[in-house]
Amino acid sequence: MRLFAFFILLASAATSLAAPPANPTGLTATASTGKTIRLTWTASAGTPTPTGHYVYRSSGAGSPVQITEFGELGGAVTSYIDDDPALQAGTAYTYVVRAFIGAEDAEELSTPSNTATATPVATPGAPGGLKATKITSTAITLEWSGVTGATSYNLYRDDEILEEEISLTTYTDLDVEISTSYSYYVTANSTGGESAKSNVLTVSTGDGTGREAYWVRDFRKVDVDASRTITLDEFLAANTKRKSIVAALHRFEYMDGDDSEDITLTEYTKAFGGKKFAAPSKPRQFYLADRYFVLDGEEPDGYLDDTEFALTQLAPIRNNAVKLEKALGKKDKNGSGDLSEVEFGIRNGSPYDSENLDPDTVPDPDPDPEPETVAAP
């Protein structure tokens, strides 16, 4: 028993007197993107093989502070990225690395590695003021505001990189098609990485007549939330000051060629630019007014009440309640308060299948006419 205890004590003494691992060498520190610092080193040579590594950091005259935990960096690891949010751009940070063997709180540490110092660089600010200075049917020239500290710029088109590391703050995109819209944004590069993106600019090339530029400006006025699409509500708000709601609905449905329930810049410039639309026929006016509230979950009933009738008239700004009531009264021959198709003035047949008023299956009573081309504004 005494002999066994002796061997236990001897083994314990041997463990406590085990040689620590050799120190890591060749430590380097490099400022990386977004105020981060990358460390690399050469692993300890010889035996014993390290269990892991600790990284220590100091700034100014401060003492080194351990910034990694036990088990975070294994014995074979030879790199570390310090992405502590507390790092400050422009402040120099000094690092050392130590290898260790053993269990947590009972480690045998190597001597420190050589020191390495790096100063993190802030990511540059996003470029601003992206605009198109010239638009033709074959080219788009872009310009933006420079960013302090930027070494170059990246230009994206439709969320894909178009040109990298542009040294100037202007660029001409020659790879464009006639009457097509493109969306652009710019980022800045520096040793601190790539910035956030600039404002997004949507531009439509012309067809050689100069017509599209006018309608691009008009599109932006209607697209009040700058979402790059025009919703039905936005279109009605912009157009019903000059026409009835059903006329605006008629135009919206014609322009929304893919039935997506919104209008893109390409749809707007191609379908609306330089053209005018025939006014909706009486059957189509009736159909649109009776169907309008289906958007809110109500069902068409084949009659127009006073609210629906108002949609077929000129904008409310030009029609007060008295005028609308008088106009409805003249048409409502039986005094029911609702207008039938005949009372509304439809003489060429009903827009509805009398056995089916489901708006998803009711055929279009008035197929969209070909728009009449007129001179560009």
Q: What type of residue sits at position 353?
A: D
Domain ranges of the chain: 17-118, 128-208, 210-377
* pLDDT bracket for residue 126 (50, 70, 90): very high
Question: What confidence score (pLDDT) does residue 79 get?
Answer: 95
> Which of 5-14, 139-148, 329-338: highest mean pLDDT?
139-148
User: Which of 3.30.56.10, 2.60.40.10, 3.30.980.20, 3.40.50.12280 is the CATH number of 128-208?
Assistant: 2.60.40.10
340 or 164, greater pLDDT: 164
* pLDDT bracket for residue 178 (50, 70, 90): confident
9 or 95, greater pLDDT: 95
Examine the pLDDT at 200 and tell me if it is beyond 60: yes
Question: What confidence score (pLDDT) does residue 61 get?
Answer: 80
Q: What is the mean pLDDT of residues 87-95?
A: 90
Examine the pLDDT at 299 and tell me if it is beyond 70: yes
* pLDDT bracket for residue 161 (50, 70, 90): very high
* pLDDT bracket for residue 54 (50, 70, 90): very high
Mean model confidence pLDDT for the chain:
80
> Which of 158-172, 249-263, 361-375: highest mean pLDDT?
158-172
User: Percent of the chain at pLDDT above 90?
Assistant: 30
Question: What confidence score (pLDDT) does residue 213 get?
Answer: 65
> What is the three-state SS of the chain?
CHHHHHHHHHHHHHHHCCCCCCCCEEEEEEEECCCEEEEEEECCCCCCCCCEEEEEEEECCCCCEECCCCCCCECCCCEEEECCCCCCCCCCEEEEEEEEECCCCCCEECCCCCCEEECCCCCCCCCEEEEEEEECCCCEEEEEECCCCCCEEEEEECCEEEEEEECCCEEEECCCCCCCEEEEEEEEEECCEECCCCCCEEEECCCCCCHHHHHHHHHHHHCCCCCCEEEHHHHHHHHCCCCCHHHHHHHHHHHCCCCCCEEEHHHHHHHCCCEECCCCCHHHHHHHHHHHHHHHCCCCCCCECHHHHHHCCCCHHHCCHHHHHHHHHHHCCCCCCCECHHHHCCCCCCCCECCECCCCCCCCCCCCCCCEECCCC
Question: What confidence score (pLDDT) does residue 324 get?
Answer: 80
298 or 362, greater pLDDT: 298
User: Percent of the chain at pLDDT above 70?
Assistant: 80
* pLDDT bracket for residue 319 (50, 70, 90): low
* pLDDT bracket for residue 353 (50, 70, 90): low
Question: What confidence score (pLDDT) does residue 43 get?
Answer: 87
Q: What is the pTM of this model?
A: 0.41
Q: Specify the CATH superfamily of domain 17-118.
A: Immunoglobulins (2.60.40.10)
* pLDDT bracket for residue 208 (50, 70, 90): low
115 or 352, greater pLDDT: 115
Q: What is the mean pLDDT of residues 57-71?
A: 90
* pLDDT bracket for residue 346 (50, 70, 90): confident
Domains 17-118 and 128-208 equal at CATH topology level: yes
Assigned token pair, 298: 């109500």
pLDDT in tens, 17-36: 467 898 999 999 998 776 78
Examine the pLDDT at 164 and tell me if it is beyond 90: yes
